[in-house]
Structure formats: C-alpha cells, structure tokens
C-alpha cells in the first residue's frame, strides 16, 4: 500500500512510500530512506498533487513506537503552513518530538 510521508525539511509536499508489512495510519512516525540516509517522517493526510512524475517508490523501513500525531494536529499544521507561508515540512519540524527520544 502507498503512503504519503511528510519529512521535516524544506518540502511543501509529502513523498510517496510503500509498505506491505506495516499497518500504518495517518499521524504515525516512520523511518524512511531519503538519499543516502534515513530520516524520520510522518504519515500525512494527502498525497503530492502532481502525479505525472516518474519515480521509484521506496519502502518504509519501520514504524516508530511513539504516540502518533492527531488528525487535528495535522490539519492545524497544514493551515499554519498556508497562513504563515512556510513549507509543510518546516511546520512539521516545529512539532516533532525530540529526536533523541526515538532513536
């Protein structure tokens, strides 16, 4: 199954990843491959709008065992991003928990 994963960086859209063995829901924190490293992201509530791109879909590495973001928090971060004219990834960066807590 394909999932939109938002990364806490300068991106204004989630990236598409897939996972066949993990039961993921919106708000779950996951570790995904990004470039030559691994990064923690969040299963988001909407896919990237431009679907005409051709790309290789990578797999989610693991689901982190920490509390998920609530749907209302995701909706707030989407609104905050538009209202303050910042990328969604930067808005997520403000909300994410301390990285040391889930490494």
Q: Which helix (H) or strand (E) holds 50?
A: none
What are the extents of the domains in the chain?
2-102
The pLDDT, as a whole number, for residue 71 is 94
The pLDDT, as a whole number, for residue 97 is 65
**DSSP structural state of residue 84:** T
2-32 as b/e, with b when 16 or more CB fall inside 10 Å? ebbbbbbeebebbbbbebeebebebbbbbbb
Q: CATH number of the domain at 2-102, out of 3.50.50.60, 1.10.260.40, 3.90.180.10, 3.40.1440.60?
A: 3.40.1440.60
CA dist., res. 59 & res. 17, Å (int) = 5
Kindly list the averaged pLDDT for each block of 10 residues, start to end, along the chain of length 103.
93 92 94 94 82 81 92 94 94 74 45
Q: Indicate the pTM of the whole model.
A: 0.86
Q: Is residue 20 left, alpha or beta, with left meaning phi > 0 and alpha meaning psi from -120 to 50?
A: alpha
The pLDDT, as a whole number, for residue 103 is 43
């Amino acid at each position: 199954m394909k999932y939109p994963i938002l990364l806490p960086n300068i991106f204004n859209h989630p990236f598409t990843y897939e996972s066949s063995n993990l039961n993921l829901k919106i708000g779950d924190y996951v570790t995904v491959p990004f470039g030559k490293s691994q990064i923690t992201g969040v299963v988001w509530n909407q896919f990237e709008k431009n679907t005409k791109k051709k790309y290789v879909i990578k797999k989610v590495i693991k689901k982190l065992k920490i509390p998920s973001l609530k749907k209302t928090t995701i909706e707030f971060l989407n609104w905050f991003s538009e209202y303050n004219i910042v990328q969604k990834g930067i808005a997520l960066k403000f909300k994410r928990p301390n990285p040391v807590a889930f490494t």
